[in-house]
Amino acid sequence: MIKTAAIIGGGVIGGGWAARFLLNGINVNLYDPDPEAERKINEVLGNARRSLPALLDYSVPHEGTLTHVTTIEEAAADADWIQESVPERLEIKHKVFAEIQQHARKDALIGSSTSGFKPSELQEGASNPTQIFVAHPFNPVYLLPLIELVGNAGTCARAKDALTKIGMKPLIVRQEIDAHIADRFLEAVWREALWLVKDGVATTEEIDDAIRFGFGLRWAQMGLFETYRVAGGEAGMKHFMAQFGPALEWPWTKLMDVPEFTDELVDLIASQSDKQSGHLTIRELERKRDDNLVTILRGLKARNYGAGETLVEHEALTKPPLPTDITKPLRTLDRVIPIDWTDYNGHMNESRYGQVFSDAGDVVMAMIGADADYISSGLSYFTVENLIQFRNETHPGEKIVVFTQVLQAEGKKLRMYHDMHRANEDGTPGDLLCTCNQLLVHVSLETRRSCEPGGEMAEKMKALHEAQTKLPKPESMR
Amino acid sequence: MIKTAAIIGGGVIGGGWAARFLLNGINVNLYDPDPEAERKINEVLGNARRSLPALLDYSVPHEGTLTHVTTIEEAAADADWIQESVPERLEIKHKVFAEIQQHARKDALIGSSTSGFKPSELQEGASNPTQIFVAHPFNPVYLLPLIELVGNAGTCARAKDALTKIGMKPLIVRQEIDAHIADRFLEAVWREALWLVKDGVATTEEIDDAIRFGFGLRWAQMGLFETYRVAGGEAGMKHFMAQFGPALEWPWTKLMDVPEFTDELVDLIASQSDKQSGHLTIRELERKRDDNLVTILRGLKARNYGAGETLVEHEALTKPPLPTDITKPLRTLDRVIPIDWTDYNGHMNESRYGQVFSDAGDVVMAMIGADADYISSGLSYFTVENLIQFRNETHPGEKIVVFTQVLQAEGKKLRMYHDMHRANEDGTPGDLLCTCNQLLVHVSLETRRSCEPGGEMAEKMKALHEAQTKLPKPESMR
């Protein structure tokens, strides 16, 4: 478990690492000699704060503390994880590693964000070589789960364990190779794209469209091989390969060649890119990208697939415990309003209040034992009526808290009253936003008809009824 | 406007074309000599029916009629669009085009699904060369919007217009080149991937993970260049290029080489793919893929970005008109329940009923003039109370219809009662699923307080009130 991380180099990548750590409750010591470092990191952090917490359906832990330090020694001395994200020049990296290893604990993990260097290259001349490994992230680091780990097997296993706990998807690259795995594909596509632009076949915008309206959508969930397996249809992978095998001999890419990297080519691409995206600032583009990614990731989470499965697993690891004190109103939900819950008015769509109350009701059901196992045993609760009263608007990024009082828990019936408030900084409830009077009925999933719950659940219902109906009615209900 | 399409070759790609046409209300003549063709096409069509209609927030038009024909003549004679999807061998394609052109109308569009051939190659020896062009789709054709069009400028412009009307995103490739644009990238990645598997660096599963947990998520919304523009941060595209320019000289891909396509390599990849995905049948994988794609596409639609923007534009073209007869209950919504609306019980989540009623209420608001323009003028309606009563379960893929009756439209207040029914095959309402008594209040978006509507809207409110409150109360309300 990482408690303190040192970030050496706070650019786009280092800043992304810092945000990922901080928003998972880890303290960060940041070292970057750039006088603009503090401003830059705050902007990355601002982006991360408006997107990462919204990936989960409950509030993330308190943020870690960010400390700007002026030496590598201060950054590294007490760190469990030290992440190097300095420019892609081996002599600079060697110098930084030497200084880190002079001050770091022997059991600290020292990861490098390098896109291309192999661990054996990074480790050259190091006092403790196996401590240094590749931990290659993908921008934006606070949202994309993939991390390529390359290096000593024991070190990588420890790193994998630590990163899994902060919601990442570590991929151990078993054999070191230039540019690891993912960047080899990116480099191949980049080289091909440079040719197409240079030869005037396509503009940057046409190339982007050729990607994002087609195979990019496939690759956000299945990769290359699983997609092709499906494309092979019933005849399968071998059929697909037989069909496209001959193309390996055909000039379907410029693979054999590398375009010359001239100023002219750089200007051509920069000017096409300006034409394509220049109407938006980088910050605006970043926000659009992050909102899109949050939407895609949350969608995949509901499907429990790909990067969505990583989120499901992360929630299982970090989900807050159920309320245990039933003698007071139950604090059933603490969460941030995600971007995909808003509508054209710019505020949370009315239907999503229903989602909040559905989730709050699920917590009470879990308390009485109506969880996933219970449902797969063939019994569940269905909602039969919701009276929702909207009091105040809610906006994306806001923290909310829901208090639930059980009004009736007898026989087949479970009636709850939910108060949804804006959450103050200290977690106490602020403005009342919405209320819901919700009636659920216990059903058999086989007959799809109502029936009485039995055994342990009946006892828990009874205890809940007795404890909660004694309480005064919620203020908003009176 | 295409009324009849001929599909020549009904495999995975041809079947996908057929489904895209049929579900957009276009009749299809299908020619495929494979004795299994009818079964195969029905399976593709089954997949398409459970995913494509759910992309839109209203019901798609009636399906076109599918006719299996036994000759190319029968398929092509009355078709506006003829799509060739036969095996990737030039002599077969030439033979097919000759037969098509013998029977087709002179103004028919003749597209080829070829992955690699250039239009000049396809047109060799044709009686009417400019009629033949590349219309290269991406699997699954019924969900992915991209179509690469290559060929005569006038022909491609007509093809682009026709495809836009059925929700596709045509990309005109201005200069013919082997494998067009997108497949050049796919081929580069494929070759690199074959090397990595052959050399034992990574398995098919590791490669898929390196894609779908990282850059695949980026490419589902922004492409290569826009992503890198953002990655360059404030310093922009030139900075990014300067940073990664030198890598062009480094061995970051195997670009220079092509692996030999041996049986051994095919077996290695097929066995790794079996290990990765063999626990699921191709049909199961297809459904997972389609559910994922529907989720991603619908998510991007809410963001009005990338492939989601294509859906927004398609909806604008095809959206049904507002109800005009206010002397009876208003038919406010006809739609299919999408997969992303379901929860762990396997039925539509309770919050999504709120979405249905929110959308139905929006129709009434549009009728009185409270549309996007009105909202940008600083006025809108906010919902203050919903009483939702759940009567029956609803499942993904089901068609529903909502009838709305205005109970009050006076001053600031707009009260509506919505009845949501399962829709019968003929569009008449079936089982009652849910009802909603909804109260909205007219507000100033500036003060965020209620205020009376004026002018034309006040008159429309009055007319609606008079016509609707005369009607008997909805049966479910009595």
| CATH value at residue A223 | 1.10.1040.10
Q: Do B102 and B197 reside in the same domain of the chain?
A: no
Q: Do A79 and A214 reside in the same domain of the chain?
A: no
Q: Do A190 and B344 touch (CB under 8 A)?
A: no
Q: Do A248 and A329 reside in the same domain of the chain?
A: no
Q: Do B145 and B191 reside in the same domain of the chain?
A: no
Residue B123's pLDDT is what?
A: 98
Q: Do B186 and A215 touch (CB under 8 A)?
A: yes
What average pLDDT does range B139-168 have in this prediction?
95
Residue A281's pLDDT is what?
A: 81
Residue A307's pLDDT is what?
A: 86
Q: What does the pLDDT look like over B228-261, one tens digit per residue?
A: 888 877 677 777 777 776 666 665 565 555 566 6
Q: Do A187 and A169 reside in the same domain of the chain?
A: no
Q: Do B154 and B201 reside in the same domain of the chain?
A: no
Beta bridge partners of B69: B31
Q: What does the pLDDT look like over A255-306, one tens digit per residue?
A: 555 566 677 777 877 777 787 777 888 778 888 888 888 899 999 998 888 8
Higher pLDDT, B259 or B299: B299
A214 chain-B contacts, CB cut-off 8 A: 138, 144-146, 182
Domain stops at, among A179, A196, A224: A179
Residue A264's pLDDT is what?
A: 77
Q: CA B395, CA B403: separation in Å to the nearest integer?
A: 19
Domain stops at, among B139, B161, B180: B180
Residue A108's pLDDT is what?
A: 98
Let me know the angle formed at the C-alpha of A468 by A462 and A473, rounded to the nearest 5 degrees. Answer: 140
Residue A437's pLDDT is what?
A: 97
Q: Do A126 and A167 reside in the same domain of the chain?
A: yes
Question: Are A42 and A288 contacting, i.e. CB atoms less than 8 angstroms apart?
Answer: no
Mean pLDDT of chain A: 90
Number of domains chain B is built from: 3
Q: CA A39, CA A29: separation in Å to the nearest integer?
A: 15
Domain stops at, among B157, B180, B203: B180
Residue B259's pLDDT is what?
A: 61
Higher pLDDT, B396 or A400: A400
Residue B238's pLDDT is what?
A: 76
Please name the member of A204, A241, A351 whose beta carbon is closest to the beta carbon of B352: A351
pTM, entire model? 0.89
Q: Do A205 and A346 reside in the same domain of the chain?
A: no
Quote the percentage of chain A above a pLDDT of 90.
64
Residue B249's pLDDT is what?
A: 62
Q: Do B235 and B202 reside in the same domain of the chain?
A: yes
Question: Are B277 and B126 contacting, i.e. CB atoms less than 8 angstroms apart?
Answer: no
Mean pLDDT of chain B: 90
Residue A454 makes CB contacts below 8 A (sequence gap 6+) with none
Asked whether residue B237 is domain-assigned, the answer is: yes
Asked whether residue A399 is domain-assigned, the answer is: yes
Q: In the predicted model, is pLDDT for residue A22 greater than 60?
A: yes
Q: Do B286 and A188 touch (CB under 8 A)?
A: no
Q: In the predicted model, is pLDDT for residue A156 greater than 90?
A: yes
CATH value at residue A413? 3.10.129.10
Please name the member of A192, A224, A238 whose beta carbon is closest to the beta carbon of B270: A238
Question: Are A365 and A371 contacting, i.e. CB atoms less than 8 angstroms apart?
Answer: yes
Structure tokens at A87: 């420019």
Q: What does the pLDDT look like over A56-87, one tens digit per residue?
A: 887 777 899 999 999 999 999 999 999 999 99
Residue A211 makes CB contacts below 8 A (sequence gap 6+) with B182, B185, B219, B223, B224
Domain that holds residue A114: 4-179
A435 chain-B contacts, CB cut-off 8 A: none
Residue of B255, B272, B443, B449 for testing the chain A interface, max A β-carbons within 10 Å: B255
Structure tokens at A399: 């923290």
Structure tokens at B150: 């290559």
Residue A239's pLDDT is what?
A: 76
* DSSP strand pairing (A330-336 vs A146-150): unpaired
Residue B285's pLDDT is what?
A: 81
* Alpha helices (H) along B304-388: 307-318, 350-368, 372-376
Q: What does the pLDDT look like over A134-147, one tens digit per residue?
A: 999 999 999 999 99
Question: Are A438 and A417 contacting, i.e. CB atoms less than 8 angstroms apart?
Answer: yes
pLDDT bin (cut points 50, 70, 90) of residue A253 is low
Residue B231's pLDDT is what?
A: 82
Identify the CA nearest to A184 among candidates B119, B250, B234, B239.
Answer: B250
| Interface confidence (ipTM) of the complex | 0.89
Asked whether residue A272 is domain-assigned, the answer is: no
Please name the member of B232, B286, B344 whose beta carbon is closest to the beta carbon of A375: B344
Quote the percentage of chain A above a pLDDT of 70.
96
Q: In the predicted model, is pLDDT for residue A327 greater than 70?
A: yes
Q: Do B34 and B151 reside in the same domain of the chain?
A: yes
Residue A254's pLDDT is what?
A: 53
Q: In the predicted model, is pLDDT for residue B152 greater than 80?
A: yes
* Alpha helices (H) along A340-449: 350-367, 372-376
CATH value at residue B141? 3.40.50.720
Q: Give the number of beta-carbon pairs within 8 Å between A and B.
A: 498
Q: CA A271, CA A162: separation in Å to the nearest integer?
A: 42
Using CA coordinates, name the residue in chain B closest to A390.
B384
Structure tokens at B368: 């009185």
What average pLDDT does range B150-159 have in this prediction?
98
Q: What does the pLDDT look like over B115-134, one tens digit per residue?
A: 989 999 999 999 999 999 99
Q: Do B355 and B427 reside in the same domain of the chain?
A: yes
Residue A342's pLDDT is what?
A: 83
B194 chain-A contacts, CB cut-off 8 A: 248
Q: In the predicted model, is pLDDT for residue B50 greater than 90?
A: no
Structure tokens at A412: 């087949």
* DSSP state string for A308-349: HHHHHHHHHHHPPPPP--TTS-EEEEEEE--GGGB-TTSSB-
Residue B318's pLDDT is what?
A: 81
Q: CA B288, CA B293: separation in Å to the nearest integer?
A: 9
A227 chain-B contacts, CB cut-off 8 A: 139, 289
